[in-house]
């Protein structure tokens, strides 16, 4: 796809306060209608955390999303490395961010890192990732693409209500790196990066000070992510990268690389990291991942993860993980104050997330399992599928028995050691 023609726009004005490292923290009252309808709203929900760069750019970020400036729609991307064969709850906020842009009419790209996953992102890590075999990465990448495409379909089918949205494209960066020759790539790209700047990144500094140090492969990760941004800018007109707050250094590298090569400005937006009650980042590395693939975490388990959220978190999670309007969330929380025992906010949160991830059928399955297990519903148990029964009782021990005709339920339970053998006392 050829790069679209670049347009020039007048300067706007930021309303916000400068944060660390040139990051602008937007306040709730941006000037542009586009920002008020999108950037400020997501800032108010807590979904958009930081905006980069600060003022002084040729195209101000709020103006970029303003329908009235002639530069609509924009293209936004976020990357997901296939270090496992499924995304997890820790990835959901970045996906929600892409969906919010898509709902506002912009075009979004989910970039599967089929190449970068082989290097391993050092951001937020104390030691190097275990190297993955190429075929394992390719298999994981296929699974991630399928998971993303399934969720995009759920979003369109269950939440669109006939509205016209922007496009959602899933790409794999292996498509352009497999065509690159090492020396040619280093010659064309490497000369635009300064070692002092790369070494100053917090993720690099943290690893250099650790006992294990940092490998060259990990060190070059930010270069490849920067090139990804440049490639999408050149071929898809992408001007905004979305990522977790631990990705800010990589986003800055992309901004600097594109600006040096083209003189144009691009932007970065971060979303907050979701952590456990102990403060650990949710994910595979921490061993606390709640997966979005049904084979790894069932709809019932995903539903229960959100149903079990504490009262002091549920309002924030409703704003982050759902598309519910803020006035509706306020109403839900007001009802919760009157009847906290009903756990209304938690149930609504769990229903909205499960529906997005697993579709209406997945939500119905989660509710059937909940009714059967926690409300002793025989009716729910009778209509459950074999898959649902396996998911519901997958942690339970089981026995395979060959039963003679006429064997009673009592004898069956005794043979399976479900109840004590012998007469009752």
Flag whether 408 is in a domain.
no
User: Does one domain contain both 324 and 208?
Assistant: no
Q: Is residue 17 part of a domain?
A: no
Q: Are residues 261 and 336 in the same domain?
A: no
- Among candidate residues 220, 244, 271, the one where a domain is terminated: 271
Flag whether 10 is in a domain.
no
Domain assignment present for 195: yes
Chain Cα centroid distance, residue 17: 27
For the segment 155-169, the average pLDDT, to the nearest whole number, is: 92
Of 246, 271, 296, the domain-final residue: 271
pLDDT of residue 179: 87
Asked, for residue 279, whether it belongs to a domain, the answer is no
Indicate whether 173 and 226 sit together in one domain. yes
Check whether residue 218 and residue 301 sit in a common domain.
no
Examine the pLDDT at 35 and tell me if it is beyond 80. no
Work out how many domains the chain is built from and give that number: 2
Give 422's contacts (C-beta < 8 A, 6+ positions apart).
none
Instruction: Give the CA distances from residue 292 to residues 33, 161, 207, 353, 412, in Å, rounded to whole numbers and listed in that order.
Output: 35, 24, 30, 10, 37
Whether residue 120 is found in the same domain as residue 64: yes
* The predicted structure's pLDDT at residue 388: 65
Angle, helix 89-103 to helix 134-159, in steps of 10 degrees: 50
Do 73 and 101 fall into the same domain? yes
The pLDDT, as a whole number, for residue 173 is 96
Q: For residue 364, what is the domain's CATH number? A: 1.10.240.10
Q: What is the pLDDT of residue 91?
A: 95
Decide if pLDDT at 281 tops 50. Answer: yes
Mean pLDDT of the chain: 82
pLDDT over 60 (residue 36) = no
Please give the structure tokens belonging to residue 349: 């949160």
Same domain? 262 vs 312: no
Tally the residues of the chain.
425
3-state secondary structure at position 275: strand
| Per-residue model confidence (pLDDT) at position 13 | 27
Does 103 share its domain with 217?
yes
Q: Domain of residue 228: give its range.
A: 35-271
Q: Which residue is listed with tokens 């479900």?
A: 418
DSSP states along 160-184 = -TT-----EEEEETHHHHTT--HHH
* Same domain assignment for residues 46 and 73: yes
pLDDT reported for residue 182:
87
β pairing state of 168-172 and 107-112:
parallel
pLDDT score at 6: 32
The confidence band for 310, taking pLDDT boundaries of 50, 70 and 90, is very high
Tokens 């997966």 -> residue: 291
Does 202 map to a domain?
A: yes
Kindly report the CATH number assigned to the domain that includes residue 79: 3.40.50.620
- Structural contact between residues 393 and 192, judged by C-beta atoms closer than 8 angstroms: no
Count CB atoms within 10 A of the CB of residue 76.
Answer: 25
User: Comparing 74-78, 167-171, 349-353, 403-407, which segment has the lowest mean pLDDT?
Assistant: 403-407
For residues 136 and 106, membership in a common domain is answered with yes
In the listed set 271, 295, 322, which residue is the last one of a domain according to the structure? Answer: 271
Say yes or no: 176 and 322 in one domain.
no
Q: What is the pLDDT of residue 196?
A: 79
Amino acid 32: pLDDT:
33
Structure tokens at 234: 């050149």
How much is the pLDDT for 336?
96
Q: Is residue 290 part of a domain?
A: yes
pLDDT digits (tens, 9 = 90+) for 86-132: 999 999 999 999 999 999 999 999 999 999 998 888 776 667 777 78
Of 5-14, 158-167, 208-217, 240-249, the least confident: 5-14
Instruction: Specify the pLDDT at position 289.
Output: 83
pLDDT for 380 equals 62
> Could you tell me how many helices (H) and strands (E) the chain has, helices first?
19, 8
Residues 223 and 332 in one domain: no
* Spatial separation of the C-alpha atoms in residues 280 and 284, rounded to whole Å: 11
- pLDDT tens digits, residue range 311-335? 999 999 999 999 999 999 999 999 9
Query: What is the per-residue pLDDT across 42-69, written as a single tens digit (0 to 9) for each?
Result: 989 999 998 888 654 456 777 788 776 6
- In whole angstroms, give the CA distance from residue 95 to residue 78: 8
Q: What is the pLDDT of residues 364-398, one digit of tens each?
A: 999 988 887 766 666 665 566 667 666 666 655 66
**pLDDT value of position 386:** 64
For every residue of 80-97, DSSP letters joined together read E--SSSS-BHHHHHHHHH
Q: In what order do the strands lie in the sheet with 107-112?
A: 16-18, 24-26, 50-52, 267-271, 238-244, 75-80, 107-112, 168-172
State residue 215 phi and psi, 5-degree precision.
Answer: -80, 160
Per-residue pLDDT at 112? 97
Residue 421: inside a domain: no
Per-residue pLDDT at 2 exceeds 50: no
The pLDDT of residue 66: 74
pLDDT, tens digit, 9 for 90 and up, residues 211-230: 888 888 888 889 999 999 99
Neighbour tally for 374: CB within 10 Å: 10
Beta-bridge mates of residue 77: 109, 241
Whole-number Å distance between alpha carbons of 74 and 18 = 24
């Amino acid at each position: 796809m050829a790069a679209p023609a670049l347009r020039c726009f007048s300067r706007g004005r930021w309303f916000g306060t400068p944060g660390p490292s040139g990051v602008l923290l937007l306040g709730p009252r941006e000037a542009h209608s586009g920002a008020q309808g999108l950037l400020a709203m997501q800032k108010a929900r807590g979904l958009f955390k930081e905006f980069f760069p600060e003022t002084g750019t040729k195209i101000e970020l709020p103006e970029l999303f303003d329908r009235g400036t002639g530069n609509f729609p924009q293209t936004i991307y976020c990357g997901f490395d296939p270090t496992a064969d499924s995304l997890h709850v820790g990835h959901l906020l970045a996906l929600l961010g892409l969906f919010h842009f898509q709902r506002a009419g912009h075009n979004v790209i989910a970039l599967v890192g089929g190449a970068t996953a082989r290097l391993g992102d050092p951001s937020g890590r104390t030691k190097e990732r275990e190297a993955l075999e190429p075929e394992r990465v390719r298999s994981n990448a296929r699974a991630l693409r399928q998971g993303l495409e399934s969720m995009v379909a759920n979003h369109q089918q269950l939440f669109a209500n006939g509205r016209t949205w922007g496009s959602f494209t899933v790409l794999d960066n292996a498509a352009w790196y497999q065509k690159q020759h090492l020396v040619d790539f280093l010659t064309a790209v490497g000369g635009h990066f300064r070692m002092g700047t790369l070494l100053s990144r917090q993720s690099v500094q943290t690893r250099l000070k650790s006992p294990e140090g940092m490998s060259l492969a990990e060190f070059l990760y930010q270069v490849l992510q920067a090139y990804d941004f440049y490639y999408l800018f050149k071929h898809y007109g992408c001007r905004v990268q979305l990522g977790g707050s631990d990705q800010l250094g990589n986003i800055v590298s992309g901004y600097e690389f594109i600006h040096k090569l083209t003189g144009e400005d691009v932007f970065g937006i971060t979303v907050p990291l979701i952590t456990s009650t102990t403060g650990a980042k949710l994910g595979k590395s921490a061993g606390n991942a709640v997966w979005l693939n049904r084979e790894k975490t069932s709809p019932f388990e995903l539903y229960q993860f959100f149903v079990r959220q504490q009262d002091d978190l549920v309002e924030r999670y409703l704003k982050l993980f759902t598309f519910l309007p803020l006035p509706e969330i306020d109403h839900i929380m007001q009802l919760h104050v009157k009847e906290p025992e009903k756990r209304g906010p938690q149930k609504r949160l769990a229903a909205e997330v499960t529906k997005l991830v697993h579709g209406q059928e997945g939500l119905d399955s989660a509710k059937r399992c909940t009714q059967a297990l926690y409300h002793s519903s025989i009716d729910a148990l009778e209509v459950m599928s074999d898959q649902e029964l396996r998911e519901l009782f997958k942690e339970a021990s089981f026995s395979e028995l060959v039963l003679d005709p006429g064997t009673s339920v009592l004898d069956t339970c005794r043979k399976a050691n479900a109840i004590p053998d012998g007469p009752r006392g």
